Amino acid sequence: MQGLMQDYPLTIVAIFDRAEKLFPDKSVITSTATGILERSYAEWADRTRRLGGVLNTLGVSKDGRVATFGWNTSNHLELYFAAPNTGRILHTLNIRLFAEQLTYIANHAEDEVVFVDRSLTGLLWPLLDTFVTVRHVIVMDDGRGEVPDSAPHGIQIHDYEVLLAAEQPVGFHVEDEWRAASMCYTSGTTGNPKGVVYSHRSTYLHTMGALMADGLGARETDRIMPVVPMFHANAWGLAHAGVAAGADLVLPGPDMSPTALATLIETQRVTIAAGVPTIWMGVLPELKGRDISALRTIPCGGSAVPRALSEAYREQTGMPILQAWGMTETSPVISVAHVKSTLANATEDERADMRATIGRPIFGSEIRVVDPVTLEPVPADRKTQGELQAAGGWVAKSYYNDDRSPESFTEDGWLRTGDVATTDEHGYARIVDRTKDVVKSGGEWISTVELENEIMAHPKVAEAAVIGIPHPRWDERPLACVVAKEGEEVSKAEILSFLEGKIAKWWMPDDVVFVDEVPKTSVGKFSKRTLREKFQGYVLPTA
Ligand code: ADP
């Protein structure tokens, strides 16, 4: 017997309609080069519908890829909805990727149009010549930058506001929830970026996950600031969740300096602010003495959240960081480190340990830690390492037109994340490392994440990244690259003695070098690849 319930398509149109109907008076606030721009959801919805008309007028094909090259702004939020709601596919280009990767991505996705912030035309224009399918570039005026007079191979240049003004609002209809809605490429930490294609349904389900109290817990009363870029993994779902909840959105625009972010948190009464660990490392000192009483949660992920950072937030603001884990392939948020109620009586220290894990999966998704070959679960003993794998309604089942798909998915359909993890009796997973970053020493693995965590707990250390250096006897040995806090001096001996007793003896870095800064990837993660290149041929001291 079949159920007798309605076939209600789970689409981004439904998210949009809800906000338009129920929350016209809520706001989308953008920090621009020329000041704060506030638009009501009513205004945003009207502009989004007219933008749908623009896409029709420009002749973007039925499932044409609509690329964006922009900051977190309300214009970008219009594109987030106008493209999928007219059946097209939003393709957010990561403005910080290398030129060759951007060319690869735009051509691989076959982008037809690119919407670019005026302040980013200088970055985009030199690439246009290599974008073979692009026919139109639409410039969104964000107060800075030049608009060149011409573009290569007949690409037409338009002004966003002029196009919008010429259109009438259009109706949005998407019946098939499985239809592609948007695409995003992985940031290419390893090899060429891979394309992930989200459906309306997966976006809808991921939005529900972000709204759940034990997910990111976004609600109508929130003022949400996604510092995580809208060009990276859907701004962690907060752009959709904010609209679905009817929350106010505070979009930081191009200035993501710690002072600017701290000022927005204070003046805009932000309640949820989400970003990668390097963002929150910078912002913490800036929060001193400010009124941040509205702030209630700081979701953070993308790379391991140092325990010391989370604890520093707890001590200074009363609020530890809320660690989340995910990947472009998982929409991205899958697991969140809320401390389980049965652990309420645990000591603050034990609770801090739980918060330093990636937590447990949000309802609607699953993770497992298994032997990568047999797919047997590893014992939940916090020690045995396995591959972290993911499944669920918002997890990719293959990459877009990419022959690397088979190796990334198991026979039973789970995503191989490439992360090494352990798990415990409560189901909390701990990331040991990415397979490519782990230090393989004498047949055993050393977790660079854990070493970094311990080193970054040193009061004089600002940042630390550990990489494996080839070793004739052990295969690889750890090298710690350390950045001292401003105005502080710290020695190799101090770091090594600080680690004593905290880690297994054979994990002790063979050397500690001091660097001015740990190189970052396009989305602000520690770039181990760059570090490995920098220290290629480095000779470790002999013991
Ligand atoms: P890229 O693979 O290019 O970095 P993604 O942004 O999709 O692109 O990154 C996903 C990866 O980020 C995960 O596989 C994992 O290694 C890492 N990651 C995300 N969140 C966390 C976290 N909370 N702790 C440790 N690693 C994390």
Summarised one tens digit per residue, pLDDT across range 474-497 is 999 999 999 999 999 999 999 999
Per domain, the residue ranges of the chain are 11-217+230-240, 437-534
CA–CA gap between residue 451 and residue 503 (Å, rounded) = 8
Q: In what order do the strands lie in the sheet with 248-251?
A: 35-40, 27-32, 248-251, 223-226, 272-274
- Cα angle 463, 466, 467 (rounded to 5 degrees) comes to 145
The residue-averaged pLDDT of 14-42 equals 98
Asked if residue 509 has its Cβ within 6 Å of ligand 1, the reply is: no
CA–CA gap between residue 488 and residue 461 (Å, rounded) = 8
What pLDDT is stored for residue 294 in this prediction? 98
State yes or no: is 445 an active-site residue.
Answer: yes
Asked if residue 303 has its Cβ within 6 Å of ligand 1, the reply is: yes
What Rg do the C-alpha atoms of the chain give, in angstroms?
23
Candidates 141, 142, 138, 129; CA nearest to 156 is 138
Cα 479 to averaged position of ligand 1 atoms, centre (Å): 22
Query: Which residue minimizes the CA distance to atom 27 of ligand 1?
Result: 303
Asked if residue 327 has its Cβ within 6 Å of ligand 1, the reply is: yes
What pLDDT is stored for residue 190 in this prediction? 61
Contact indicator for 408, 371 with CB cutoff of 8 Å? no
| Residue 28 pLDDT > 70 | yes
CA–CA gap between residue 155 and residue 14 (Å, rounded) = 34
Handedness of CA 6, 9, 12, 14 (dihedral sign): negative
Average pLDDT taken over every residue of the chain: 96
Q: Where are the alpha helices (DSSP H) in 288-430?
A: 307-317, 348-355, 405-408
**For ligand 1, mutation pick of 325, 447, 527 (most atoms within 8 Å of CB):** 325
**Residue in 445, 460, 485, 534 annotated catalytic:** 445
**For ligand 1, mutation pick of 305, 431, 530 (most atoms within 8 Å of CB):** 431
The ligand 1 atom at the shortest distance from the C-alpha of residue 323 is 23
What pLDDT is stored for residue 189 in this prediction? 62
List, for residues 112-124, the tens digit of each pLDDT value: 999 999 999 999 9
Q: What's the first-to-final CA gap in the chain, in angstroms? A: 72
Contact indicator for 346, 352 with CB cutoff of 8 Å? no
What pLDDT is stored for residue 490 in this prediction? 95
Provide the phi-psi class of 273: left if phi over 0, else alpha when psi is between -120 and 50, else beta.
beta
Asked if residue 448 has its Cβ within 6 Å of ligand 1, the reply is: no
- Work out the number of other CB atoms within 10 angstroms of the CB of residue 84: 27
Asked if residue 187 has its Cβ within 6 Å of ligand 1, the reply is: yes
Q: Where are the alpha helices (DSSP H) in 387-537?
A: 405-408, 448-456, 492-499, 528-534
Backbone angles phi, psi at 9, to 5 degrees: -65, 130
**Residue in 190, 317, 435, 440 annotated catalytic:** 440
List, for residues 405-458, the tens digit of each pLDDT value: 889 999 999 999 999 999 999 999 999 999 889 999 988 889 999 999 999 999
Local confidence band at 344 (pLDDT 50, 70, 90 cut-offs): confident
State yes or no: is 340 an active-site residue.
Answer: no
**Rounded alpha-carbon distances, angstroms, from residue 80 to 15, 107, 237, 238:** 11, 20, 11, 12
Query: Which residue minimizes the CA distance to atom 12 of ligand 1?
Result: 302
CA–CA gap between residue 440 and residue 437 (Å, rounded) = 9
List, for residues 250-309, the tens digit of each pLDDT value: 999 999 999 999 999 999 999 999 999 999 999 999 999 999 999 999 999 999 999 999
Local confidence band at 543 (pLDDT 50, 70, 90 cut-offs): low
Q: Is the pTM of this model over 0.85?
A: yes
Provide the token pair at 113: 């149009």
State yes or no: is 329 an active-site residue.
Answer: yes
User: In CATH terms, is domain 437-534 a member of 3.30.300.30?
Assistant: yes
Q: What is the dihedral of CA 8, 11, 13, 17, to 10 degrees?
A: 60
Local confidence band at 98 (pLDDT 50, 70, 90 cut-offs): confident
Provide the phi-psi class of 513: left if phi over 0, else alpha when psi is between -120 and 50, else beta.
beta
> Would you tell me which CATH number, out of the four given (3.90.650.10, 3.40.50.2300, 3.30.1150.10, 3.40.50.12780), belongs to the domain 11-217+230-240?
3.40.50.12780
The residue-averaged pLDDT of 51-65 equals 97
- Helix and strand tally (H, E) in the chain? 16, 25
Amino acid, single-letter form, for residue 37: L
489 CB-contact burial (10 Å; exposed 0-12 / middle 13-18 / buried 19+): exposed
Amino acid, single-letter form, for residue 113: V
State yes or no: is 280 an active-site residue.
Answer: no
The ligand 1 atom at the shortest distance from the C-alpha of residue 523 is 6
The ligand 1 atom at the shortest distance from the C-alpha of residue 188 is 3
Provide the token pair at 128: 């246009």
Q: In what order do the strands lie in the sheet with 156-159?
A: 156-159, 136-140, 111-117, 65-69, 89-92, 180-185, 195-199
**Residue in 73, 186, 357, 423 annotated catalytic:** 186
What pLDDT is stored for residue 192 in this prediction? 80
